[in-house]
């Protein structure tokens, strides 16, 4: 194990202890596994407030599920507190991360009215929750270039660099192997990404 991975594991375990004491919010958890391979982190989302964007949100989750193996996005079960809450509003699309795999997304109608693709918007905003920053200006091949790629861009898939970053963000999953080791993974608090 490299020094960086060791430090990451120590930081995650320490932060996990603090978060466990804090309680309240749902946190992205690592799915248990008996194999030495990395387990995918399951992140749940609630799109019940996404209104006309529900299909785009489900499609954005599918994009990420096809693109990476370290994390999988799944709709929350009835009564379950979701890691990600997704709502529709009349503003610009944006995401607020509370920790890695946790936060709130606003599917803003303003971008759609300007001609931006709803599936790209959903994938982009989910990318923020998975730990990715905006890359502006950027080409259409970069999902995180967002609106800077223009309204003609409908690419909803992350590029190889973006995929690698998400895999790295959730790479700590390999440290947790059983139900007893089910952990929550923190990242940042309260950062809002608008685009």
Look up residue 127 and give its two tokens.
Answer: 């990318």
The catalytically annotated residue of 74, 125, 160, 167 is 125
Sign of the CA dihedral with 155 first, then 63, 165, and 124 last: positive
Rounded Cα distance between 19 and 132, Å, is: 22
Q: What are the phi and psi torsion angles at 106 (to 5°)?
A: -110, 120
Answer yes or no: 125 catalytic. Answer: yes
Residues facing residue 73 across a β-bridge = 43
Rounded Cα distance between 10 and 95, Å, is: 28
Rounded Cα distance between 15 and 173, Å, is: 15
Rounded Cα distance between 27 and 183, Å, is: 9
Rounded Cα distance between 77 and 107, Å, is: 21
Just list the catalytic residues.
Answer: 125
């Amino acid at each position: 194990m490299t020094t960086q991975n060791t430090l990451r594991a120590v930081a995650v375990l320490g932060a996990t202890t603090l978060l466990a004491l804090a309680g309240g919010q749902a946190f992205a958890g690592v799915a248990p596994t008996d194999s030495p391979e990395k387990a995918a982190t399951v992140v749940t989302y609630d799109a019940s407030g996404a209104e006309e964007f529900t299909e785009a949100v489900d499609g954005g989750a599918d994009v990420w599920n096809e693109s990476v193996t370290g994390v999988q996005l799944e709709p929350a079960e009835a009564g379950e507190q979701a890691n990600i809450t997704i709502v529709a509003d009349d503003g610009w699309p944006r995401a607020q991360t509370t920790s890695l795999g946790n936060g709130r997304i606003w599917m803003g109608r303003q971008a759609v009215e300007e001609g931006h693709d709803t599936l790209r918007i959903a994938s982009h905003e989910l990318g923020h929750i998975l730990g990715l920053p905006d890359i502006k200006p950027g080409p259409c091949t970069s999902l995180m270039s967002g609106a800077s790629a223009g309204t003609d861009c409908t690419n909803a898939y992350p590029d190889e660099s973006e995929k690698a970053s998400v895999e790295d963000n959730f790479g700590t999953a390999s440290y947790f192997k059983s139900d007893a080791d089910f952990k929550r993974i923190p990242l940042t608090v309260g950062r809002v990404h608008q685009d």
